[in-house]
């Protein structure tokens, strides 16, 4: 039992608002230049990724209740306050490879009370940097804020309908398995429309804002365990989608929030969406 949870989260959420504004500034200055370094999964690191990572580390480590910070851009967690309680997993600039195309990108946070497992996630958050800055904070509900006149204004709580009409299918299509190809195709045959930018934050945000749909990043011949990282990407969004009334599963139809990453950078195939689409995925994968 953690009596201070609400107070602790309020402090962390306020800090996330601050760092969002700093990171927006970094993206504005970025010309998509690459550093000479690669992160642990071999991606080239953009200057903007590195700067965003440093901003988050510097600012969040000031919060005494945060024990460790684990970034998608680093191989190891940084212990910042030995007496702290929460472990924060974050992707400082998700979709950094599409910054140069001037598409929307985002920052993702998962706040874990204990080890990095879905069941220890007590809150999640993400920021979308697009034509405007939007922030979603998820604890007991999934709350949307927009940045207006220098502050984040609460707009509304986001709820997924039983089904939607957006289909966001990730992964290299050439390597999709037959059953995956068929289920993606079946959504299009039911009138779903393609919406895929290459950034999971804006793609998942669009489904939440429009009230339903399906985002998938399957395991494929070239990437059997998918591409998206559990701790920094999949688990926080699974938490958000379940809280909003939808679902999130892996290729074995296990709830994503029941997955237990063994290593910080473990990836998993993932499907996030409203209830109807998640059921269709389960049926298709059960037959495979
Ligand atoms: P980058 O951060 O390397 O741009 O990757 C973005 C991402 O992790 C996620 O935001 C996207 O949904 C996914 O990769 C897109 O991957 P594909 O380009 O393989 O569709």
Q: Which of 92, 125, 157 lies at the terminal end of a domain, its last residue?
A: 157
Task: Note whether 67 and 180 are same-domain residues.
Answer: no
- Cβ burial, residue 74 (10 Å; 0-12/13-18/19+): middle
Tell how far the Cα of 96 is from the centroid of ligand 1, in angstroms: 8
Task: Note whether 24 and 147 are same-domain residues.
Answer: yes
Task: Note whether 59 and 13 are same-domain residues.
Answer: yes
Atom of ligand 1 nearest to the CA of 228: 8
Q: Which of 106, 137, 157 lies at the terminal end of a domain, its last residue?
A: 157
Q: 61 near 78, Cβ under 8 Å?
A: yes
Alpha carbon distance 270, 256 (integer Å) = 8
Q: Which of 157, 187, 214 lies at the terminal end of a domain, its last residue?
A: 157
Atom of ligand 1 nearest to the CA of 203: 12
Q: 76 near 69, Cβ under 8 Å?
A: no
Please report, in tens digits, the pLDDT of each residue of the chain (288 residues total).
688 999 999 999 999 999 999 999 998 887 666 665 666 666 666 688 899 999 999 999 999 999 999 999 999 999 999 999 999 999 999 997 888 889 999 999 999 999 999 999 999 999 999 999 999 999 999 999 999 999 999 999 999 999 999 999 999 999 999 999 999 999 999 999 999 999 999 999 999 999 999 999 999 988 999 999 999 999 999 999 999 999 999 999 999 999 999 999 999 999 999 999 999 999 999 988
Tell how far the Cα of 244 is from the centroid of ligand 1, in angstroms: 23
* Stated pTM of the model: 0.95
Specify the number of domains making up the chain: 2
Task: Note whether 191 and 133 are same-domain residues.
Answer: no
- Cβ burial, residue 232 (10 Å; 0-12/13-18/19+): buried
Tell how far the Cα of 200 is from the centroid of ligand 1, in angstroms: 7
Q: Is the CB of 198 under 6 A from ligand 1?
A: yes
Alpha carbon distance 210, 13 (integer Å) = 24
Q: 91 near 127, Cβ under 8 Å?
A: no
Q: Is the CB of 227 under 6 A from ligand 1?
A: yes
For position 254, which CATH number holds? 3.40.190.80
For position 140, which CATH number holds? 3.30.540.10
Q: Could you tell me which residues are beta bridge partners of residue 271?
A: 216, 249
Task: Note whether 128 and 197 are same-domain residues.
Answer: no
Q: Could you tell me which residues are beta bridge partners of residue 88?
A: 69, 111
Tell how far the Cα of 82 is from the centroid of ligand 1, in angstroms: 33
Full domain range(s) for residue 90: 2-157
Task: Note whether 111 and 56 are same-domain residues.
Answer: yes
- Per DSSP, the residues of 177-216 read -HHHHHHHHHHHHTT-EE---S-HHHHHHHHHHHT--EEE
3-state secondary structure of 288: coil
* Cβ count near 260 (within 10 Å): 12
């Amino acid at each position: 039992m953690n009596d201070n949870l609400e107070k602790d989260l309020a402090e962390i959420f306020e800090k996330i608002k601050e760092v969002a504004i700093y990171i927006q500034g970094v993206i504005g200055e970025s010309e998509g230049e690459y550093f000479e370094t690669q992160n642990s999964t071999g991606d080239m690191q953009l200057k903007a990724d590195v700067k965003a990572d440093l901003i988050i580390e510097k600012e969040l480590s000031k919060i005494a209740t945060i024990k460790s910070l684990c970034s998608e851009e680093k191989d190891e967690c940084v212990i910042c306050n030995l007496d702290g309680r929460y472990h924060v997993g974050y992707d400082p600039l998700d979709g950094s490879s599409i910054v140069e195309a001037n598409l929307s990108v985002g920052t993702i946070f998962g706040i874990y009370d204990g080890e990095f497992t879905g069941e220890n996630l007590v809150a999640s958050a993400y920021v979308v940097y697009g034509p405007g800055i939007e922030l979603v904070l998820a604890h007991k509900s999934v709350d949307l804020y927009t940045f207006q006149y220098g502050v984040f204004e609460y707009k509304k709580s986001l709820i997924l309908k039983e089904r939607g009409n957006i289909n966001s299918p990730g992964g290299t299509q050439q390597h999709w398995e037959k059953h995956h190809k068929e289920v993606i195709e079946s959504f299009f045959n039911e009138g779903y429309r393609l919406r895929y930018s290459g950034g999971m934050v804006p793609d998942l945000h669009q489904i939440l804002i429009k009230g339903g749909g399906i985002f998938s990043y399957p395991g494929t011949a070239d990437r059997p365990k998918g591409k998206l990282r559990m701790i920094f990407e999949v688990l926080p969004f699974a938490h958000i989608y379940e809280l909003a009334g939808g679902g999130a599963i892996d290729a074995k139809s296990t709830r994503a929030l029941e997955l237990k990453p063994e290593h910080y950078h473990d990836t998993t195939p993932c499907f996030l969406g409203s209830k109807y689409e998640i059921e269709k995925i389960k049926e298709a994968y059960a037959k495979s």
